[in-house]
Amino acid sequence: MSERAVLVTGASRGIGAAVAAAFAAAGDRVALHYRGSTELAEKVRAALPGDGHLTVQGDLADPTAVASIIETVVKEFGRIDVLVNNAGIYVEHRIEDVSYDEWQESWQRTLAVNLLGPANLAWCAVRHMPRGGRIVNVSSRGAFRGEPRQPAYGASKAGLNSLGQSLARALGPRGIAVSTVAPGYVETDMAADVLAGPQGDTIRAQSPLGRVATPADVAAAVLYLASAQAELASGTIIDLNGASHLR
């Protein structure tokens, strides 16, 4: 396929920045979405190969902001060939530790960003997505293994898996494929403290390969799922956890 118009959410750092770099290296135009890290996002954009990339700001918990993210990208690119729902939050709220109010807040915020955000982005984006379009969702091993300290996160990612499978069936007749990657721990800001702390070696040893994923590992899988060759992978969920959790 010639140059594609790609929107990557949460592209100011971590996995999203690596995904944006992988698409740009393949010759695509990338819209890098972020929430608050304007400088970081600009830095990532400036380092991308190729021309015409842009940054776009917005809180995915806000449906109005989601609509305006898509409007901005469509105004600039004319269409959206690929949507990568990558942005996410990971908030600790152990059931035995937090107050009822904190429990409410954690569930509402996590589901709003990790599940409703991607659902709303998909609704807005498919109206500008031609045949051959792709939606790739970044889920997590936690959807399958459970998240005892972040239960809303696990539930949000299980919901995201289901959203992807439902949309794969809904959008197939339009030639749009929808798929998911489910990484275990990845070396990013989100996991930095845990991986650098006393648990780090135990976590790396969960995989027989003795390591966790890099953002580039995840980006390579996303690039494949967004390719023309991956049409028949629609509906799939690719595990990227180094055999640390088999299902």
Would you tell me which residues interact with ligand NAP (CB under 6 A)? 10-16, 34-37, 40, 59-61, 86-90, 113, 138, 140, 183, 185-186, 188-191
Catalytic-residue membership of 43: no
The one catalytic residue in 140, 156, 179, 234 is 140
In the bound complex, what is the minimum distance in angstroms from residue 158's beta carbon to ligand NAP? Answer: 12
In the bound complex, what is the minimum distance in angstroms from residue 1's beta carbon to ligand NAP? Answer: 25
The one catalytic residue in 12, 90, 106, 139 is 139
In the bound complex, what is the minimum distance in angstroms from residue 115's beta carbon to ligand NAP? Answer: 11
The one catalytic residue in 153, 156, 179, 234 is 153
Catalytic-residue membership of 34: no
Neighbours of 149 (CB within 10 A): 14
CA atoms within 13 A on the CB side of 184: 20
Strand, coil or helix: what is 206? coil
**For residues 42 and 176, what is the distance between their CA atoms, to the nearest angstrom?**
30
State the virtual CA torsion across 85, 65, 176, 165 in degrees, nearest 10: 50
In the bound complex, what is the minimum distance in angstroms from residue 121's beta carbon to ligand NAP? Answer: 10
Which residue's CB is nearer to ligand NAP, number 37 or number 231? 37
Which residue's CB is nearer to ligand NAP, number 4 or number 13? 13
Q: Are 179 and 137 in contact (CB under 8 A)?
A: yes
Q: Are 184 and 241 in contact (CB under 8 A)?
A: yes
Q: Which of 6, 3, 245 is closest to 139 using CA atoms? A: 245
**For residues 84 and 137, what is the distance between their CA atoms, to the nearest angstrom?**
6
State the virtual CA torsion across 64, 33, 240, 171 in degrees, nearest 10: 50
In the bound complex, what is the minimum distance in angstroms from residue 175's beta carbon to ligand NAP? Answer: 26
Catalytic-residue membership of 99: no
**For residues 240 and 182, what is the distance between their CA atoms, to the nearest angstrom?**
6
Which residue's CB is nearer to ligand NAP, number 71 or number 228? 71
In the bound complex, what is the minimum distance in angstroms from residue 139's beta carbon to ligand NAP? Answer: 7
Which residue's CB is nearer to ligand NAP, number 77 or number 185? 185
Which DSSP category does 171 fall into?
A: H
CA 177 to chain centre: 16
The one catalytic residue in 90, 157, 179, 244 is 157
Catalytic-residue membership of 157: yes
Which residue's CB is nearer to ligand NAP, number 102 or number 189? 189
Q: Are 247 and 213 in contact (CB under 8 A)?
A: no
Which residue's CB is nearer to ligand NAP, number 12 or number 179? 12
Which residues form the catalytic set?
139-140, 153, 157
